Amino acid sequence: MRILWLMLAAALTLSAAEPPKSVRLYVLDCGRLAIDDPARLGFKKEQLKTVDLSMGCYLIVHPKGTLFWDTGAVPDTYFKPGVEKPTLTYGTVTKSITSQLAASGYAPKDIKYLAISHYHWDHIGNANLFASSTWLTPKVERDMMLAGKSDSRYPEHFSELKNSKFVITDNRKGEYDVFGDGTVILKSTPGHTEGHQSLFVKLKNTQPVVLSGDIYHYPEEVTTGVVPLIDVNKEQTTRSRRELSAYIKQKKAQLWIQHDLVHFETLKTAPQYYD
Ligand SMILES: [Zn+2]
């Protein structure tokens, strides 16, 4: 009997963290992008407060399950003995996603849903870690990614998603309610890429948050209306920004620009969380 109890206790400690009573938002540090010249993003260096970009990854824990949002540029597999700051072209990372998840009580296999804002390399770096999750994706992004038609570098970093369960998130309504209670909503915000999406998270004790994806990179885009040259449809980006601004106002939310390094460094990171 005693052995049975011990086995049960061991099984319990090995399982994922208990679901919380209200939504939690964990910010994971997925590294930095060193930008030599921000011309592709529509700016000269002297017009920007900070030129380098942060890379945020986010874990949302809902009473009904977990969602991982955006996966950085540098795969966890680049961490090797003696390599403290793995680099991939101009992306550098100091902490793996797996270690930050573990510190928060989770493993990639515990994650119910994966969603990425868009297919660019600095958002899909660790997508393969979540191949056993259900992929919440706009149809156009999935189709392009799996057909090799996205202009993402390193398509091998998301290649395992081809076998993942998936749910299509772009619909006529332009939003997808992940847990069905209005707390976690994927918003269709195309323009940067064909099926770019942003994420709304409603919390109990914190002002609601909209995670930008790459609808903006720098806060200066908000004030000037500058659209990056790399966006596939610049008019559509402007339209999506207008719609998202109205949504943010309606929801009394705050906008977190994921690549805004100055803002990112003010955030508390996992294992701390916002609730
Ligand atoms: Zn990006």
Residue 5 has a pLDDT of 52
**Residues 154 and 148: beta-carbon distance below 8 Å:** no
CA of 119 to the centre of ligand 1 (A): 9
In the chain, what are the domain boundaries?
19-264
What b/e sequence results for 234-246 when a residue is b if at least 16 CB atoms lie within 10 Å of its CB, and e otherwise?
bebbeebbeebee
Q: Does residue 12 register a pLDDT over 50?
A: no
| Digit-coded pLDDT (tens) for 17-69 | 789 999 999 999 999 999 999 999 999 999 999 999 999 999 999 999 999 99
CA of 231 to the centre of ligand 1 (A): 11
pTM: 0.93
CA of 173 to the centre of ligand 1 (A): 25
| Digit-coded pLDDT (tens) for 202-231 | 999 999 999 999 999 999 999 999 999 999
CA of 266 to the centre of ligand 1 (A): 19
CA of 198 to the centre of ligand 1 (A): 12
Nearest to 28 by CA among 67, 86, 65: 67
CATH no. for 19-264:
3.60.15.10
CA of 248 to the centre of ligand 1 (A): 21
User: Six-digit token pair at 169?
Assistant: 């998130």
CA of 273 to the centre of ligand 1 (A): 23
